[in-house]
Amino acid sequence: MDRLKVAILGATGIVGKELIRMLEKHPYFELDALYASRHSAGNSLQVDKDGLSMEIREADAEEINRQHYDYIFSAVSEQSATILERELRGMGNRIVTNASGNRMLPDVPIVVPEINFKEISNLNKGYILANGNCSTIGLVLGLAPVAEFSIKSVDVTTLQAVSGAGYPGIPSLDILSNVVPFIQGEEEKIVAETHKILDSRNRTKFRLTATCTRVPVVNGHLESVTVEFDSIVAFDEILDSFRLFKNKDLPSGLPTLPERPIILQDAKDRPQPRLDSGKPGKMDGMQVSIGRIRVTGNILQFVLVVDNLVRGAAGSTLLNAEVAATLGGQI
Amino acid sequence: MDRLKVAILGATGIVGKELIRMLEKHPYFELDALYASRHSAGNSLQVDKDGLSMEIREADAEEINRQHYDYIFSAVSEQSATILERELRGMGNRIVTNASGNRMLPDVPIVVPEINFKEISNLNKGYILANGNCSTIGLVLGLAPVAEFSIKSVDVTTLQAVSGAGYPGIPSLDILSNVVPFIQGEEEKIVAETHKILDSRNRTKFRLTATCTRVPVVNGHLESVTVEFDSIVAFDEILDSFRLFKNKDLPSGLPTLPERPIILQDAKDRPQPRLDSGKPGKMDGMQVSIGRIRVTGNILQFVLVVDNLVRGAAGSTLLNAEVAATLGGQI
Amino acid sequence: MDRLKVAILGATGIVGKELIRMLEKHPYFELDALYASRHSAGNSLQVDKDGLSMEIREADAEEINRQHYDYIFSAVSEQSATILERELRGMGNRIVTNASGNRMLPDVPIVVPEINFKEISNLNKGYILANGNCSTIGLVLGLAPVAEFSIKSVDVTTLQAVSGAGYPGIPSLDILSNVVPFIQGEEEKIVAETHKILDSRNRTKFRLTATCTRVPVVNGHLESVTVEFDSIVAFDEILDSFRLFKNKDLPSGLPTLPERPIILQDAKDRPQPRLDSGKPGKMDGMQVSIGRIRVTGNILQFVLVVDNLVRGAAGSTLLNAEVAATLGGQI
Amino acid sequence: MDRLKVAILGATGIVGKELIRMLEKHPYFELDALYASRHSAGNSLQVDKDGLSMEIREADAEEINRQHYDYIFSAVSEQSATILERELRGMGNRIVTNASGNRMLPDVPIVVPEINFKEISNLNKGYILANGNCSTIGLVLGLAPVAEFSIKSVDVTTLQAVSGAGYPGIPSLDILSNVVPFIQGEEEKIVAETHKILDSRNRTKFRLTATCTRVPVVNGHLESVTVEFDSIVAFDEILDSFRLFKNKDLPSGLPTLPERPIILQDAKDRPQPRLDSGKPGKMDGMQVSIGRIRVTGNILQFVLVVDNLVRGAAGSTLLNAEVAATLGGQI
């Protein structure tokens, strides 16, 4: 089988590089081109372990469109991506994106396949298919399993790793032996995206508040979650919901889809970012670790860790493309 | 005026050493003796900047009682302190303690002077007067100003510094570039102590959940707090409550009492542990920094930082003793 | 072929656990038993990824000797190992050890196979075969390639990771945002062991000084090395010596022997501990990374990084056993 | 007495802010103006604890010259400072600078007062008076006391804090749980400046090599120093040289001059950056801590810590100005 031809926009960033790594020897997709802003154009990036490198081209809508890529992966962090993605969509391209600029558009679904892959549609014309923010993806994978119990409110405090801020990201002088309790726009994204992703499963929107902090951790976002349900829940039922969570309607055999999206951590002091996510470059990282589950009446507390570079970014973009390609009959 | 004669139990720990530092040239109290467990006895500790040192004695109830100290400061971390404190109380001594063992006894008040100094009573016979756990003290100083608005529920996630775990405390291999989302007994303490301290001000107990994490920060606990009120609150009223919070009935001139217990941080990314608490040895640290105040309907979110060694431990023990000595007419 | 039956002494420590991991599916050796001190005996440790676990037995010379292991791997950190290793040797056992207690005995060779594997002898009776200290192994692999140029003196400053101190090792309160410029006994070990290992190659002992520091890094020791030669050296010759270094007399096909022991790092800011060694559990880590090579007249400066858990400990112990088994005709 | 009128160039950087702090209530100097690059001009900076702020002006030679400042403190980090400083000197201004651009000019002395304050001359016309690089200042204060013993060679490895890189400086993703063994231009500065400063005391230039690394430490540079002397030295003599080191010809009463520039650390694991320098904002920090002194024949090894923001930058600039003002009869 010929593999589908793909390009990466924003190839020079952390997420772009992670995508390059995850696309190496991918069974569906063949990396054909790298794009970035003008000042990186002309440089080269290594694209496999044997040292093969590929030149970076300047991201220009006309020129990208001419290449007729099967999929365009967007890992651009700057606001400029917003326009470029829409232009390319207008020209009929399929955009699978990690960028946040278009996520909240009504015709752009934010897809976490285990939750709402059926929102992928219109597969025969140009579209933008988004994954959520790194913290959002972790949160919704933690909430979806228990959404059947009728959620009244959710409060989340995130402890986010520095790799989530991109490069150069947060200066070391700000974060060494410190916590910075503010991440621009992050809390708003979590609230809006979580509702958009979970809405189809949980009609009455619950109240959701978020507080986002940055901590001196290389990789792996930890989230402390408190859920209030409308009525009392049983500890064992909650545990089973996490453990058994799986979307049986998903196509089977997707290369980046884990058997189950959640790993339950039994140890009383887990999950931990360094032990339960990966450092940049780690191969797995598509599962969310959940632990410290406590139930008191109608209140559930738990802690989750999501690998912000893999499941929280590049891995989710890739998984969304795998689902789209399968649903679209290209695989 | 002759200063009151005091001894420290548990002088060799982090909190004990901070107490020694804070007692240097204290206007009310004169440090007369240091006590610790048998294996430290016979060693010496430096007690002032000029290098003066004092021998450590083995903590034995009979021997301590014979010295007729005006106040005994207890900074013992081990469970054994629980018995010793009660024995000494039984012999008629005044114990002002940072240890947790006796805090929840009905006849031991947990006092944060700005909130409930009037619970100090029975000043003429032996007693144990406790301050709260380091995280509790920060939390109740953040909740007391807004308790007038009728609190329905509180959820707190703490990001606690390693100095709060004592010495040797948490191994570096566990915490470097990591978060450990579990601290033995801490969440239970926060819930029980917060209710005990605030009870007299807020009759109907609100629901309170806590999740405690350890982060790679030297000193300064950060807490992310979400408060649900019974009805809608106004941002400006909340701000004024924090800014103006003060207990006007407190005796004036207490050496360790700050003019106001709360510093409001205007910057959007404050408070931060490294900037808004102190490193071990810093002189101030009695104020709690509060920032990131957000109000949405009947929901209040904010972030606080408390210096866990000063206001969260040694400084609160000392302040409680200052209040007791003043109320008791010794000053 | 039946695999050789091995046991691990000190199985519960960091190095013991790394050995367990490296022995999983090893082509020569089959893990048959775990030993540790009395207080760990009776517990179990996981020995493969599928969750198989093995009970820990109390380390007793008589009982160990009765089992007739082909090899006994010693990863014991305490001084007590010194006696136990000698007792077992006296009973005719083959001990391959990472422990330091017997390293400097005249009849215990310290072997880094690429340098001095020929010192392994007396293969038919009981022996102790040691690898060096974690910092020593990195240093000698950096010096051996250039030893042909007649070294006059070497000065090394190490920046050692916390995993090198074992568990619990160094308290986080001591090392967060700090450097501790002292590691008990380390400088003496580096000096004595380096001379013992390199002696056969470089008759006139050079002057060697070491300063050892601990830095807040999870894994990977960095060493800054300055070498003075008797005469001027050429940059290109030095580079070639590092690049081409290899011991052609070594048996081929050893499972844990890298193709070349040194990776030259071209980037001006490499090697770095986090990028050029592994985190605990990483599979490779047997190569030393060398970079920042500067030559000025007869002076050579360079920086190396050694994975202190793999090449600096468990991996070297295992490699030594592989060499011994091959030389002894057991493979 | 009217205080001398001073301005700060580069007021918005870390060193500029430290200078502002150190100038608050300074007995000789009165801060009159702040200058920075065009993009900061118009903003304000707080200049004392009571919240007084001062507007930042654009640094323009003509406009600065018109104000007739008694001293101009230069804390500019960019290369552009090099030209500006020379222009202002040409117009007859006294520039006391922390910037590196003009340090190696023959008519710009690099002054560490305890070593070579007599190089300050031509006090009645325009001049540039420089302090050394942060690491250089620490090193020369460690070498000067023992320079009388005839130094043959010096090898230094530095472990430098992130505050030394300015702001934003080194990205957290690069340095968390890591060491970066390269700092642009730093090794060359240490070699050239050390010789320039010590030359007058030690005619025959010794061989000096440096390797500079960045470590995850907020503030405080640690240096591991190995000195080879022409002949054997005695431990006690070395110790006395460090302990008693003082330049008795210096004017007395300089506000920023410590009684002795060196603190000897007796503890076997000191000096340490976090304990023996300050965090940003600490008042002292003018002394270099030296410890781990080892003497073997003609070889001396020691470790020093210098507060890179105070003695290594702002404090040295200020001290140089105090000396110049005193020698020039202005005080």
Task: Give B267-304 pLDDT, tens digit per residue.
Answer: 999 999 999 996 544 458 999 999 999 999 999 999 99
Please give, rounded to a whole number of angstroms, the shortest distance from the CA of C260 to a CA of chain A. Answer: 17
Single-letter amino acid, residue B282: K
Across the interface, of C216, C226, C271, the residue whose CB is closest to D155 is C226
Instruction: Please give the pLDDT value at position D202.
Output: 55
Neighbors of chain D with 3 or more C-beta pairs under 8 Å: A, B, C
**Bridge partners of residue B151, in order along the sequence:** B229
Radius of gyration of chain C (CA): 19
Q: Of all helices (H) and strands (E), which one includes residue C303?
A: strand C299-306
What dihedral do alpha carbons C181, C185, C190, C191 form, nearest 10°? Answer: 110
Closest by Cα among D11, D183, B288, B141 to C268: D183
**Which member of B177, B218, B279 has the closest CB to residue D176?**
B177
Q: Are C74 and C97 in contact (CB under 8 A)?
A: yes
The residues of A assigned a catalytic role are: 134, 221
Q: Is D4 in contact with D30 (CB distance < 8 Å)?
A: yes
pLDDT of residue A278: 64
- pLDDT(C280) > 50: no
Instruction: For residue C37, give how far its alpha carbon lies from the nearest alpha carbon of chain D (Å).
Output: 30
Burial state string for A94-133 with b = 16 or more CB within 10 A and e = fewer than 16:
bbbbbbbbbbeeeebbbbbbbbbbebbeeeeebbbbbbbb
pLDDT digits (tens, 9 = 90+) for A163-173: 999 999 999 99
CA distances to B140, B150, B294 from B228, in Å: 15, 9, 12
Kindly give, in sequence order, each residue whose CB lies less than 8 Å from that of residue D203, ignoring residues fewer than 6 positions away. none
Residue B95's beta-bridge partner residues? B72, B128
* Amino acid identity for residue A150 in this structure: S
So what's the pLDDT on residue A282? 47
Question: With an 8 Å Cβ cutoff, are B218 and D176 in contact?
Answer: no
Q: How far is the CA of C214 from the CAs of C179, C217, C237, C271, in angstroms?
A: 6, 8, 33, 17
| Residue showing tokens 């959701």 | A208
B36 bridge partner residues: B58
The answer to whether D274 contacts B177, with C-beta atoms less than 8 Å apart, is no
CB-CB neighbors (< 8 A) of C14 in chain B: 173
CA-based nearest distance D272→chain C, Å:
6
Enumerate chain B positions whose Cβ falls within 8 A of a Cβ in D.
176-177, 218, 274, 279
Exposed / middle / buried, residue D119 (Cβ in 10 Å: 0-12, 13-18, 19+): middle
What local confidence, expressed as pLDDT, does residue B50 receive? 81
Active site residues of B: 134, 221
pLDDT range class, residue D79, cuts 50, 70, 90: confident
Taking any CB pair shorter than 8 Å as contact, residues of chain B touching chain A are: 153, 155, 157, 159, 176-182, 207, 209, 211, 213, 215-218, 222, 224, 226, 228, 268-275, 291-292, 296, 299, 301, 303
Length of chain C: 331
Alpha carbons within 13 angstroms on the beta-carbon side of residue A65 total 14
Which residues in chain B have Cβ-Cβ distances shorter than 8 Å to C309?
none
Specify whether the CB–CB gap between A11 and A75 falls below 8 A.
yes
Amino acid at C273: P
List CB contacts (< 8 A) between D274 and chain B. Answer: 218, 279
C-alpha angle C151-C154-C159 in degrees, rounded to nearest 5: 145
pLDDT > 90: percent of chain B: 89
Looking at residue B235, its pLDDT comes to 98
Of B176, B218, B279, the CB nearest to D177: B176
CB hemisphere CA count around B61 (13 angstroms)? 16
pLDDT mean over C16-41: 95
- How does the average pLDDT of chain C come out, rounded? 94
Q: pLDDT for B53-106, tens place per residue? A: 999 999 999 999 999 999 999 998 777 789 999 999 999 999 999 999 999 999
Mean pLDDT of B177-193: 97
C116-157 per-position pLDDT tens digit: 999 998 777 899 999 999 999 999 999 999 999 999 999 999
The Cα–Cα gap between A8 and A11 comes to 6
How many whole angstroms separate alpha carbon A214 and alpha carbon A187? 12
In chain D, the domains with their CATH numbers are 4-133+314-327 (3.40.50.720), 134-307 (3.30.360.10)
Query: Looking at CA atoms only, how far is residue B311 from chain A in angstroms?
Result: 18
Residues of D in contact with B279 (CB under 8 A): 274, 279
* pTM for the structure as a whole: 0.96
Alpha-carbon gap, residue A287 to A290, rounded angstroms: 10
Confirm if B152 and B228 have CB atoms less than 8 A apart.
Answer: yes
Burial label, B266 (beta-carbon count in 10 A; 0-12, 13-18, 19+): exposed
Nearest CB to D222 within list C177, C181, C207: C181
Distances in whole angstroms, Cα of residue B280 to Cα of each of A250, B217, B263, C23, D310: 55, 12, 20, 45, 20
> What is chain B's mean pLDDT, rounded?
94
- Residues in chain D with CB shorter than 8 Å from the CB of B176 are 177
| Interfacial residues of A (vs D; Cβ cutoff 8 Å) | 14, 162-163, 165, 167-177, 216-218
User: What is the distance between the alpha carbons of residues C286 and C262, in angstroms, rounded to a whole number?
Assistant: 9
Given this model, what pLDDT does residue A293 score?
98
Q: Is C215 in Cβ contact with D159 (below 8 Å)?
A: yes
Q: Is the pLDDT of residue C33 over 80?
A: yes
CA of A176 vs chain C CAs: smallest distance (Å): 7
> For C19-29, what is the mean pLDDT?
95
Q: How far apart are CA B297 and CA B232, in angstroms?
A: 5
Which chains touch C (3+ CB pairs under 8 A)? A, B, D
Would the CB atoms of D218 and B176 count as touching at under 8 Å?
no
Angle (CA) A120-A122-A127 rounded to 5° is: 80
pLDDT over threshold 90, residue C272: yes
| Alpha carbons C103 and C109: distance in angstroms, whole number | 7
Section C1-12 average pLDDT: 93
Q: What is the pLDDT of residues D139-176, one digit of tens each?
A: 999 999 999 999 999 999 999 999 999 999 999 999 99
Mutate which: D170, D173, D274, vs A, most A CBs within 10 A: D173
* Contact between residue A298 and residue A232 where contact means Cβ atoms under 8 Å apart: yes
Task: Put residue C113 in one of left, alpha, beta given phi > 0 → left and psi -120 to 50 → alpha.
Answer: alpha
Closest CA of chain A from D163, distance in Å:
6
Number of inter-chain CB pairs under 8 A, B vs D: 8
Residue of A nearest to D216 (CA): A176
- CB of D168 within 8 A of CB of D137? no
What is the pairing mode between strands D127-130 and D94-97? parallel
CB D176 within 8 A of CB A279: no
Question: Are the beta carbons of C299 and D209 separated by less than 8 Å?
Answer: yes
Which amino acid does the sequence have at D191?
V
Q: From the candidates D26, D39, D68, D134, which is the catalytic residue?
A: D134
Residue D77 vs residue B45, higher pLDDT: B45
| First and final C-alpha spacing in chain A | 9
Say if residue D270's pLDDT is above 90. Answer: yes
Residue range D204-216: average pLDDT? 94
Distance from CA of A304 to the nearest CA of B (A): 10
- pLDDT for A125 equals 84
First to last CA, chain D: 9
Cis peptide before A168 (omega within 30 of 0): yes
Return the half-sphere exposure (C-beta side, CA atoms, 13 A cut-off) of residue C175: 34
| Spatial distance between the Cα atoms of C155 and C138, rounded to a whole number of angstroms | 14
Is residue C51 very low, low, confident or very high in pLDDT (cuts 50, 70, 90)?
confident
Instruction: For residue B189, give Cα distances in angstroms to B97, B184, B204, C25, D290.
Output: 15, 10, 19, 47, 44
Residues of B whose CB is below 8 A from C218: 173, 176-177
Contact between residue B5 and residue B72 where contact means Cβ atoms under 8 Å apart: no
Return d(Cα D287, Cα C198) in angstroms, integer. 41
- Paired residues of B222 in beta bridges: B159, B305
pLDDT score recorded for residue A280: 47
* Token code pair at residue C171: 């308290």
CB-based burial label for A233 (10 Å; 0-12, 13-18, 19+): buried
D212 included as an active-site residue:
no
What average pLDDT values come out for chain A (331 residues) when binned by 10 residues?
A: 93 95 95 95 90 94 96 88 94 97 95 96 88 97 95 97 96 98 97 91 80 97 98 97 96 93 95 82 80 98 97 97 95 87
Look up residue C69 and give its amino acid.
Y
Mark whether C212 is an active-site residue: no
